[in-house]
Amino acid sequence: MISATREVMEGPGGVGRERELKARLNELQMKLQVMEGSFEQLSAGVGLDAFVREKERGMDWNREMAEFLAPIMSEVKKMTSRPRQIEALRNEITRYHTDIQLALGAQERLISLVSQTSNPQLIEKLGKLTRSWGNRETEVRTRMAVSEKALEKAMGEKKSIGRSFQELLEFFFQSRGRNLFLAFLAFAVFFGCLHSLHKLIFRLSPFHKKERSFGVRVFDLFYRIFTVIISAFVLLGTLYFLGDWLLLSLAIIFVMGIVWASKQAFPRFWNQAALMLNFGAVREGEVVVYKGIPYEVATINMNSKLENKALENGFVRLHINDLMELRSRPITENEPWFPSRRGDWVRLSDNTYGSVVAQTPEMVSLKLKGGALKYYNTTDYLAQSPTNLSNGYRLTSIFGLDYQHQRIVTEEIPKIIQEAVTVALAKAGYGNLMADIRVEFKEAGASSLDMAILAEFNGKAGSKYWVLERAIQRICVDVCNLNDWIIPFQQVSVHMAGS
């Protein structure tokens, strides 16, 4: 084509057509250059002008950001096209109203000028202007009528909010929703597989079966970070292969936002890492007090485990953020984890007496004599300073005698009462419960000489506390009756001053 055109230019047929043939020749040469460049691109995979373009095109952040946000803006425009169309039509109609008023005002002024002049040439000129403005008015009115018709049609297609929302959801799940579901599914599957692999390593690795060393903790920490990062790349890669640039752009912006926000939270992340590496304020194998209850720190992870074996279901999963607020200490040799166990008999400071039916980190229930159940929050139960009777206890009973027995009250009477109490309790069937019985003179009171009966019982007597207390008082009364000892009553003495 190029050589044929040149032959025409050089021959007699090109006389008078030089400009036309030269323009055609330039056009053909430009097409040839484009085709040669395309051939180079297809053959080598890159054009020879790539280096030149890279030098010419620098990094334009505004252009790059515009290209990155283009899919998002395209979707936003698509979703808001109908409201924007309605608003544009309303603005057009308003503008046409303004133009019509201008045209009418111009025609009135021109007609007024025609009536005020007698020059034929001027009248003809003004008449042409008047007709021109009239034509413009007619044209604007036509355009306004078209816009009003379009606005009426658009408003007629207006749907309810519920219907619009339903169509939006249908559109989303038919296109974006499917891609989003697949991306999150890939993320969940990959994250779950890596998490299961870590559990398998934890179960089979000989390094995890022993007490976790510092190196093992570092491995676990970086494995978790690796799991999150790789799973996030799998999500982004799924959106990339699906070709959903909108969701991919949004996901990248979201990830960048998280990375940017993490700068502010870096000190907190560092403290969490220190805890997971077991050189923070809380350490594995130590005791920590959580909500007033002591626990052993079993494991420290993102969800740590605290354990108290003295409680039923006595373990608590605690997020590492909550663990950061606590402090731990080494466990002592005889660490008291809880003042009672299930089945123990206890007395509380509010004079409640019963056996422990259940005790959990949240609730303790006591079964009272007669079968009634009484419930305490575990922290309230501990605040009652429970006395555990199931490990043995001492029952102290005070008994008073009259002052006329003052001569024998310190030596003879304690021996008689001690022997009587021991024999009587054994006859009543409590002999296997007794550990020691002692009777001593306690004090000289205002109205009586008081004896202290100190009766010690083993843990089997936990359910007999009140029974034994009443039995001791009854035996003391029987001994007094047998020996003709007088039991005094409260007296009030009035001393009169002599005259």
Domain ranges of the chain: 2-56, 81-158, 172-264, 345-388, 393-483
Beta strands 328-329; 287-290: pairing state: antiparallel
Q: Under a CB-based contact definition with an 8 Å cutoff, are residues 297 and 280 in contact?
A: no
- Structure confidence at residue 42 as a pLDDT band (50, 70, 90): low
Taking the C-alpha atoms of residue 436 and residue 396, their distance in angstroms, rounded to an integer, is 12
Can you spell out the DSSP letters for 447-489?
Answer: S-EEEEEEEEE-GGGGGGHHHHHHHHHHHHHHHHHHHTPPPP-
Assigned architecture for domain 393-483? 2-Layer Sandwich (3.30)
User: Residue ranges of the alpha helices (H) in 407-463?
Assistant: 412-425
CA distance 452 to 192: 70
Is the pLDDT confidence value at 55 over 50? Answer: no
User: Which of 67-71, 112-116, 283-287 is least confident?
Assistant: 67-71
Which residue did the predictor score with more confidence, 178 or 12?
178
Under the banding of pLDDT at 50, 70 and 90, the label for residue 499 is very low
* CATH tag, 81-158: 1.10.287
Task: Work out the burial of residue 439: count CB atoms within 10 Å of its CB; fewer than 13 is exposed, 13-18 middle, 19 or more buried.
Answer: buried
What pLDDT band is residue 143 in, cutting at 50, 70 and 90? confident
d(CA 375, CA 185): 47
pLDDT of 208 strictly over 70: no
Count the helix, strand and coil residues of the chain and give each as a percent rounded to the nearest 5. 60, 15, 25
CB neighbours of 29 closer than 8 A, spacing ≥ 6? 2
- How far apart are the C-alpha atoms of 320 and 280, rounded to whole Å? 11
Contact 158, 82 (CB under 8 A): no
The model carries a pTM of 0.53
